[in-house]
Structure 1
Amino acid sequence: MLELLKSKILVSDGAIGTELLKLSSEKNPEILNLKKPSLVEKLHIDYINAGADIITTNSFGANPVRIKDINIYELAKASAQIARKAKIDNKFIFGSVGPTGLKPTDKEFKNIDAYFSEQICGLNDGGVDAILIETMIFVEEMKAAYRVARTETKLPIAVSMSFHLTKNGFQTYGGADLKTSVKEMLNLGAEIIGANCGNGFAEMTTLAEKLKSIISETFIIIKPSAGTPKRINDKLIYPDTPNSISKFVEKLISLGVNIIGGCCGTTPEHIKVIRKLVDKTIQSEKAWAQ
């Protein structure tokens, strides 16, 4: 995969959690790995059919803080096995590792390595191709997840934090500024770094420009949310529709982002748009080379 990234933009899938929540009353969509694995598998297949090169396991919140009284190792392993069942040749599976919800100042934070170990070992044993540490807002938690992933596996690791634009520039909701966060991610030695979620494609494109001004060699992953949703008629409506994202995706491509996908609120229809634009760029480059 890493060799492929040197010459090709890879398209990741879109949201897992928000899509599964549309289809089920489960509070924690990760539980569906055990209760309705066919539902999870179908979503992976939908993303593959939309053109995704990378599918992400349904394991974002699979940790003992978010989900009680469940064997987290088995839950995470099941997420990887479901993804492998859906996978076809030339696709990659990223094992999703999200934040626990703990703050570094919390007393329970001392157990963070053990919590991540259950999840990451399950993903590794289930057969993922890489570990994706995503939506992190605390540098300390991001570093802990990376430390465990590097210790417990030999897999490539992608690290992605979540930022929003403030009067002081881009910061995580935990208060870490962009430059500090990127420096910490680079110092870890992760093969892929970047950002996900945030407040939509427009803001994430601006963030990607900032990232490119800091990062010169490491592969970059960008997975924007579909914006900040509004509740209308008891449904969450996201403003960034598939029809509205093209110019932002084109900008991400021109910036040289290596992996482009979607986060909360994005759907297979969003991924179809990204796939089409990435393929258009590839065809243009081939025509130019001839």
Structure 2
Amino acid sequence: MQPIAYTRGHALADALSKRIVIIDGAMGTMIQRLKLSEAQVRGERFKDHGKDLKNNGELLSITRADVIRDIHEAFLAAGSDIIETNTFGATSIAQDDYALGHLARELNLASARLAREAADKFSTPDKPRFVAGALGPTPRTASISPDVNDPGARNVDFEQLRAAYFEQVQALVEGGADLLLVETIFDTLNAKAALFAIDEYFTQSGERLPLIVSGTVTDASGRILSGQTVAAFWYSVRHARPLAVGLNCALGAALMRPYIQELSRVAGDTYISCYPNAGLPNPMSETGFDETPEVTARLLHEFAAEGLINIVGGCCGTTPAHIGAIREAVTPLATRSLRHAASNVPGVPA
């Protein structure tokens, strides 16, 4: 089997072979800190919309592009190599909660273009910056019943997820994404619908981008919400041949450590990403989480020193200050070495 030939993002694969790469922090945290009003989120275009939109951060890519642009640039200034598009909840399925599902393509296209502009502004020949098209899990799960009295009930199916993700992928790539990031995976069946849609797009377009797949261990059970262990999760998604696989969200670095260790062991021939929350929720904190930049950076320095990670950053509660501290903490350290498979293709074990 030949190595994957990427039409975009090939420089990212090169960077990962040489150093630890920095991904950005929490878009949602940064938006929440601004305390925007309902009217500010709606803008003139949606002033008469029939549902509350204050919590629809993805809509800001249309109504307040300046806000999203400033957040991207703050993370880039802090040293991020990769910034995520503001599209975590931008599928038609997620936007249907706001009666805006018909805007999914427009939201993803606008968000990708904003991230592309910011990344290009900060890129240099020696330090290119990359745009990750972010695909979130949607607020629905294909594996778990939403009704405790009816275990067989489902509020979404595989085909609905596949169609929504395909629409999202098309717009993200058109808008300028260098790679795709299927993240915060709590249901592997949802993720497999996203991976199916991505592969379908790659086949139809003739274009292949690097892929990062990131799961979420929800608690001390060491399992994602739909029941898989970290190892089982990896064996379920490795067919997609991701450039990197990792964990994000739900846990801070201290609690995430044993699961990153396990993933690093079982996915020995694939790069490992890790972007935890800033510790535990803390409503008294400015960010809503309890870890300062220094604490998060110290913990992730330990991950790097142990040789566990190739991509590192932050999820909920992490700010540009966290990312800057993480960058300083891990930059002197070597990136994790791969155990190359005979196929020489990331994600396919020998």
Q: Distance in 2 between matches of 1:73 and 1:250?
A: 39
Aligned match of 1:261 in 313, 319, 322?
A: 313
Q: Indicate the residue corresponding to 2:156 in structure 1.
A: 108
Deviation at 1:114, TM superposition (A): 0.8
Give 1 or 2: higher strand fraction. 1
State which of 232, 243, 247 in structure 2 corresponds to 1:191.
243
In 2, are the aligned partners of 1:15 and 1:264 still within 8 Å (CA)?
Answer: yes
Structure showing greater Rg: 2
Paired AA for residue 156 in structure 1: P
SS at match of 1:128: coil
2:132 maps to which residue? 94
State the shift of 1:190 in Å: 1.6
More helix by share: 1
My pick for the range that moved more, 198-207 or 112-121, is 198-207
Q: Once the 2 structures are TM-superposed, how far is the Cα of residue 252 of structure 1 from its aligned partner?
A: 1.8
1:232 corresponds in structure 2 to 284
Of residues 26, 36, 46, the one that matches 1:15 is 26
Q: Write the letter of the residue equivalent to 1:111.
A: Q
Looking at structure 1, the residues matched to 303 and 106 of structure 2 have their Cα atoms a distance apart, in angstroms, of 37
CA distance in 2, matches of 1:14, 1:108: 30
- The residue type paired with residue 292 of structure 2 is T
Residues 246 and 272 of structure 2 are in contact (CA less than 8 Å); yes or no, is this contact kept in structure 1?
Answer: yes
- Secondary structure at the residue paired with 2:94? coil
Shift of 1:237: 2.6
Deviation, structure 1 residue 138: 0.9
For 1:17, give the aligned amino acid: G
> What's the counterpart of residue 285 of structure 1?
none
- Range that drifts further, 217-226 or 242-251: 242-251
Q: Distance in 2 between matches of 1:129 and 1:229?
A: 32
CA shift in 2, pair 1:207/1:108, >3 Å: closer
Offset of 1:176 from its aligned partner?
Answer: 1.9
- For 1:232 and 1:220, locate their aligned partners in 2 and report how far apart those are by CA, in whole Å: 33
Looking at structure 2, the residues matched to 246 and 66 of structure 1 have their Cα atoms a distance apart, in angstroms, of 32
Whichever residue aligns with residue 193 of structure 1, its letter is V
- The number of aligned residues is 279
Q: How does 1:106-255 map to 2 (within 5 A)?
A: 106-109=154-157, 110-153=159-202, 154-166=208-220, 169-232=221-284, 237-254=288-305, 255=307
Q: CA deviation at 1:46?
A: 0.3
Partner SS, residue 232 of structure 1? coil
Q: Is the 8 A contact 1:59 1:96 kept in 2?
A: yes
Distance in 2 of aligned mates of 1:256 and 1:175 = 24
Q: Distance in 2 between matches of 1:212 and 1:161?
A: 13
- Ranges of 4+ aligned residues in structure 1 off by more than 6 Å: none
Question: Are 2:70 and 1:42 aligned?
Answer: yes
Gaps of 5+ in 2: 1-11, 38-53, 144-153, 203-207, 335-350
Conservation of the 8 A alpha-carbon contact between 1:137 and 1:176: no
Question: Secondary structure in 1 aligned to 2:283?
Answer: strand
| Structure 2 CA distance for aligned equivalents of residues 245 and 92 of structure 1 | 23
In the alignment, the residues of structure 1 paired with residue 251 and residue 103 of structure 2 have an alpha-carbon distance, to the nearest angstrom, of 33
Who is 1:6 aligned against? 17
**Is contact 2:279–2:296 with CA below 8 Å preserved after alignment?**
no
Displacement of 1:204 in angstroms is 1.8
Matched AA of 1:84: R
Unpaired stretches in structure 1, ≥5 consecutive residues:
283-290
